[in-house]
């Protein structure tokens, strides 16, 4: 599937900032499931710095901007050719050992509720079946409902609430997978559509679980499926903050307002 992606993130400040430094994880991953046909990152008025591929195989580049500036926009335009690999991350080069992703963070730490959910999934020695079962259990336990959680909501809080968005489903799946001894990580990217036919934010998140014999396998608990040709993978981390497409710091700023617009559409063949 050939997908066209337009992603615009605008920051507005109530007082002009003096300087901005950003680290962007906004370039699609290199693996068998996707091929970048064209990709352009632009920060008007900014200066592109050095880029590097980190130990997880993600491309990260730095940008700086000198103020004063009351509004800053990061724009991405690109085309990606994707194909279905049944969720398996084949051909992705990285050097971090999977066991590094057994480490809990403040938003993925398991509480008694998450431990009970993890233990409730019955499966044999097949880790792939167990992983599918854990993903289904999270989907059953947390209904998709935008606007009821915040960016800092933990997996335990989302489970107790019984509602959340893809970030909450992903954090919860990471937590229960680690409880069952499966390394798990957060993945940020884009989604063209969802299997339920309902409109969702095209900026999306899912989990990857490390299954012995297969490697990293993606599970989208929010949509009860594995990533296929509708998904574009950007990068990964221990949680949403760690895998954030844009991270940075502004000096001299006051209040900040954020506006994000993402459009993913299929190109005519």
> For position 29, which CATH number holds?
2.60.40.2250
Q: What is the pLDDT along the chain (269 residues), one digit of tens a residue?
A: 999 999 999 999 988 999 999 999 999 999 999 999 999 999 999 999 999 999 999 999 999 999 899 999 999 999 999 999 999 999 999 999 999 999 999 999 999 999 999 999 998 779 999 999 999 999 999 999 999 999 999 999 999 999 999 999 999 999 999 999 999 999 999 999 754 444 455 899 999 999 999 999 999 999 999 999 999 999 999 999 999 999 988 888 678 889 999 999 998 75
Same domain, yes or no: 27 and 59 = yes
The number of beta carbons lying within 10 Å of the beta carbon of residue 63 is 21
pLDDT of residue 269: 57
Tell me how many degrees the CA angle 61-7-253 measures, rounded to the nearest 5.
65
Same domain, yes or no: 160 and 75 = no
pLDDT of residue 10: 95
Give the CB-side neighbour count of residue 84, counting CA atoms within 13 A. 5
Same domain, yes or no: 69 and 113 = no
With the C-alpha atoms ordered 139, 241, 86, 1, is the resulting torsion angle positive or negative?
Answer: positive
Number of domains in the chain: 2
Same domain, yes or no: 74 and 117 = no
Same domain, yes or no: 15 and 55 = yes
Domain region containing 41: 2-81+245-266
Instruction: Please state whether the predicted TM-score (pTM) of the whole model is above 0.85.
Output: yes
Same domain, yes or no: 253 and 229 = no
Taking alpha carbons only, the member of 65, 2, 62, 72 closest to residue 27 is: 62
pLDDT of residue 124: 75
Same domain, yes or no: 117 and 28 = no
| Long-range Cβ contacts of 53-56 (<8 Å, 24+ apart) | 55/94, 55/95, 55/96, 56/94, 56/96, 56/185, 56/235, 56/236, 56/237
Same domain, yes or no: 54 and 106 = no
Taking alpha carbons only, the member of 10, 157, 138, 6 closest to residue 80 is: 6
pLDDT of residue 199: 44
CB 20 within 8 A of CB 40: no
């Amino acid at each position: 599937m050939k997908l066209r992606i337009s992603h615009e993130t605008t920051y507005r400040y109530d007082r002009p900032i003096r300087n901005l430094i950003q680290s962007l994880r906004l370039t699609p991953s290199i693996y068998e499931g996707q091929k970048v046909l064209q990709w352009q990152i632009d920060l008007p008025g900014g200066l592109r710095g050095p880029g590097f591929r980190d130990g997880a195989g993600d491309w990260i580049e730095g940008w700086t901007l000198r103020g004063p500036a009351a509004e800053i926009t990061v724009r991405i335009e690109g085309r990606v050719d994707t194909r279905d690999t049944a969720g398996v991350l084949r051909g992705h080069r990285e050097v971090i050992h999977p066991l590094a992703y057994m480490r809990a963070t403040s938003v993925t730490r398991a509480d008694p509720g998450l431990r009970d959910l993890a233990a409730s999934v019955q499966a044999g020695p097949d880790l792939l079946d167990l992983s599918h079962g854990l993903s289904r259990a999270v989907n059953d336990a947390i209904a998709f409902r935008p606007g009821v959680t915040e960016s800092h909501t933990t997996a335990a809080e989302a489970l107790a609430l019984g509602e959340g968005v893809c970030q909450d489903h992903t954090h919860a799946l990471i937590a229960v997978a680690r409880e069952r001894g499966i390394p798990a990580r957060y993945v940020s990217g884009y989604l063209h559509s969802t299997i339920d036919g309902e409109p969702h934010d095209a900026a999306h998140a899912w989990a990857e679980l490390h299954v012995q014999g297969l490697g990293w396998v993606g599970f989208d608990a929010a949509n009860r499926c594995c990533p296929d040709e509708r998904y574009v993978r950007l990068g990964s981390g221990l949680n949403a903050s760690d895998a954030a497409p844009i991270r940075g710091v502004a000096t001299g700023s006051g209040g900040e307002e954020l506006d994000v617009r993402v459009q993913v559409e299929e190109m005519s063949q």
